[in-house]
Structure 1
Amino acid sequence: MTIPDAVSLTQALIRFDTVNPPGFERDCAHHLGAMLEEAGFANSYYEFADGRTTLVSCLPGRDESLLPLAMTGHLDTVPFGHQPWTRAPLAGEIADGKLYGRGASDMKSGVAVAVASAVAAAQQPESLRRGLMLILTAGEETGCDGSRYVAEIEGALGKASALLVAEPTSNLPAIGHRGALWLRGETAGVTAHGSMPEKGVNAVYKASRAIAKLEQFGFNEKRDELLGSPSLNVGTVRGGLNINSVPDYTEFTIDIRSIERKSHEKILCQLKSYLNDEGVGLNAEVDLDPVKTDFNHPFVQCVNAVVAQEIQIVPRPMTLPFFTDASILAAALCAPTVILGPGETALAHQTDEYCFVDKIPEAVMLYEKIIDSWCR
């Protein structure tokens, strides 16, 4: 089989509309599955909802006692946003050394790199002592739904010797990221006619007082030297049904990014106590642990050596502010984790998202060297 050109493959993947919601990653997953199957991989498809497809593709190594190297990327993307794009977001256009489109950085270029390097490795399967496992997921952007689903299916994944995540890092290796705790806050009131507000209890006012308090909330945690400090952001507020009634229900969402020092359970208890006087109900919508691998782990050092040798940059300990599927998969696979991909971290979710074209073949070269060093 011809090894796919990762730049052209990135363009093809961008042209699959996998904006989440609704996602519908099935066609994209099967397109990639066909490439991998032709190269000798065995495919399994898992759907947590209709059309929400995660692909697990495996190539055995010649030494069955050695655990495989796992590589992962997600197929869904975020919506385009309200601001107009100067380039069509699903066209995959190239201009001035940049490949544009939703998912160009986050993270269809990374998926293309993982698939192209895996197909290249499969050209000489007899030289692979360790096998390869690709986990291409649905629903990452809304809380790692696809990876969580497949991780809960007995026998779907097994264990791995290491996990390589192709999220955007501009080809510099990261050894972890913060966790995510997404909460839904709710306030209840008593409805009444808008001309007689004293007859009711305004749920919007209750929510607004709680939100104002959250702006001043402090975690009282020592900063982690790698993961940094936890953060809190109120993302949405919805309340009331019509202008001339006192609203009896309001909901708002809270996005917390966590570090390792305090469990999500303790953070939730802390917030409930902090907002107790405002009568706020809090429920967890997404609960993803932070990830951090020892910088001295042999796999981390393997990746660092490849990067230092091939692009003449000596990696330093680095983590990312956002979550990845490693929140689920690292624990499920019992695997040390490195995050490395061609996309630009700062361009994730942006209008006119792009990836520098030359970063894509560079990432393929790095992945091929990592596979060669760790698996052969």
Structure 2
Amino acid sequence: MAEDVVDLCAALLRFDTTNHGGGTAAGEREAAEFVATHLDDLGVPACVLEPAPRRSNVLARVPGSEPGLPALLVQAHLDVVPADPAEWSVPPFAGVERDGFLWGRGAVDMKDMVAMVLSVIGGWSREGRRPRRDIVLAFVADEEDKGDYGANWLVEHQRDYFTGVTAAISESGGFSHRVGERRLYPIGTAERGSSHLRLTARGRAGHGSRRNTDNAVVHLVGALGRIAALDHPVRLTATVRAFLERTGEALGVEVDLADVDGTLARLGPAAALAESTVRNSTTPTVLNAGYKVNVIPGTATAEVDVRTLPGTVDELLASLDAVLGPHVTREFLEDQPPVQAPIDSPWFDAMADALRGEDPDAIVVPYCMGGGTDAKAFTRLGIDCYGFAPLSLPEGYDYRAMAHGVDERVPVEGLRFGARVLDRFLSS
């Protein structure tokens, strides 16, 4: 049985759990069975649940020494996005260790977290240790699509399993971010909402050679041009405000909340952690129209990736409706609200303490994630969800380019650092 966090992560990377979306995937079953068997061998009974064939989720609970304390959920997804082997330097599902990194699809999104958690529990088992509070584990399917076979399904059909859980940790936080000689560690305390839209333009079908002032393609392109030109105003959430103030103070940078763009410019590399979350965004991503070059279609569609900050959804949709025009309608493909967790809380403080226990110079700040995670599902159970999958990252390593990117890889020593931090946090 693998015990080292690097060996565990390599083993997980060798399972092809590609999620192609639309309900089709290679399936998470083998990876889920690996995780469940590993937990069983450590004395932690685990169950595998499948809402559909091969779409597997693992649930388990590690009993704490003080069962009266609120429980903590650790949730991580087993599926990954597709990887084209022709684009990669190594086979994406080989779990290759090279140049101090472990390479493979899912190395940072997010089989590294699964491996770190299994490693921590393995250490507890060998040393006869227990956490103070119950630790509920959920290793889930389908995060890279809509979560219908994963977190959303668990929340709807297995909600009693999470009774007593008040907080959760998962991906996209706790990693080191270098600013000169300083190391920021952003902990995710919020994430923007996902209000993905399909736009449909309607017009008069006809021959491409004839004059047509009611062309659905033209209507759609016009609407998309106006959407692209929208100037979304700055809207500071509690998390982003705290990030700017605390990061500015730590770096000795003037923070002017009346001039957020100027403040971001002064923050240098630290600005990358906030520049996408001071505003809403509306990004056209998919176009579909026509079937033959000499035929004007009667309809044309587009999909728009819309990300919303807390308290701004109605404002954003009103601004979109104002520029769609009379021939274009919208419908939701997905509508998940923003997520917020308390910044000034014992949970945040404990995460910060765990980071500083391994890196005394750590500057720990809250931040808002620009994208979305399964926190949107578990928040519906009243659970405060944090992004905390700690890693120590070397200089020059572009963490934000790794998830969903080519040659995804995670530093070996960074994994070991993360496992130690998680052990400190989960034990306490």
TM over 0.5: yes
Matching of residue 177 in structure 1 with residue 199 in structure 2 = no
Residue aligned with 1:348, SS:
coil
1:357 alignment partner in structure 2: 412
| Greater fraction of residues in strand | 2
- Give the structure 2 partner of residue 165 of structure 1: 170
Q: Does 1:43 align with 2:57?
A: no
- Contact 2:192-2:337 at 8 Å conserved across structures: yes
| Equivalent residue in structure 1 for 2:389, among 332, 336, 340 | 340
Please state how far the C-alpha of 1:141 moved relative to its aligned partner: 1.7
Give deviations 1:65-88, integer Å, cap 9, x for gaps: 222221111111112259711221
How big is the alpha-carbon RMSD for the aligned residues of Structure 1 and Structure 2? 2.4
Quote the offset at 1:16 in angstroms. 1.1
Q: Which runs of 5+ in 2 are unaligned?
A: 177-184, 244-276, 394-398
- Equivalent-residue separation in structure 2 for 1:41 and 1:302 (angstroms): 24
In the alignment, does 2:217 pair up with 1:204? yes
Deviation at 1:335, TM superposition (A): 2.9
SS state at 2:19 partner: coil
Deviations 1:290-340 (A, max 9, x none): 233222200110110111121121312333222111122134252352423
1:28 maps to what in 2?
A: 31
Displacement of 1:124 in angstroms is 6.0
Can you give the 5+ residue segments of structure 1 that lack an aligned partner in the other structure?
Answer: none
Partners of 1:91 and 1:46 lie apart in 2 by: 27
Q: Is the 8 Å Cα contact of residues 76 and 138 (structure 2) preserved in structure 1?
A: yes
The 3 A distance-change label for structure 1 pair 201 and 64 is same
In structure 2, how many angstroms separate the alpha carbons of the residues matched to 1:206 and 1:82?
39
- What's the offset of the Cα at 1:163? 1.0
Aligned residue in 2 for 1:235? 285
Answer with 188-197 or 320-329: which moved more: 188-197
Alignment of 1:1-376 (within 5 A): 4-21=3-20, 22-23=24-25, 24-80=27-83, 84-123=87-126, 127-145=130-148, 146-153=150-157, 154-167=159-172, 169-170=174-175, 172=185, 173-196=187-210, 198=212, 201-224=214-237, 225=241, 226=243, 227-263=277-313, 265-275=314-324, 277-312=325-360, 313-342=362-391, 344-373=399-428
Do the aligned partners of residues 167 and 317 (structure 1) sit closer, same or farther apart at CA in structure 2, a change above 3 Å counting?
A: closer
C-alpha distance in structure 2 between counterparts of 1:256 and 1:288, whole Å: 10
- Counterparts of 1:281 and 1:119 in 2: how far apart (Å)? 54
Q: Deviations over 1:230-257 (max 9, x none)?
A: 2221111111122221112222111122
Partners of 1:160 and 1:118 in 2: CA distance: 19
**1:327 and 1:123 mapped to 2: Cα distance?**
35
Q: Distance in 2 between matches of 1:6 and 1:322?
A: 27
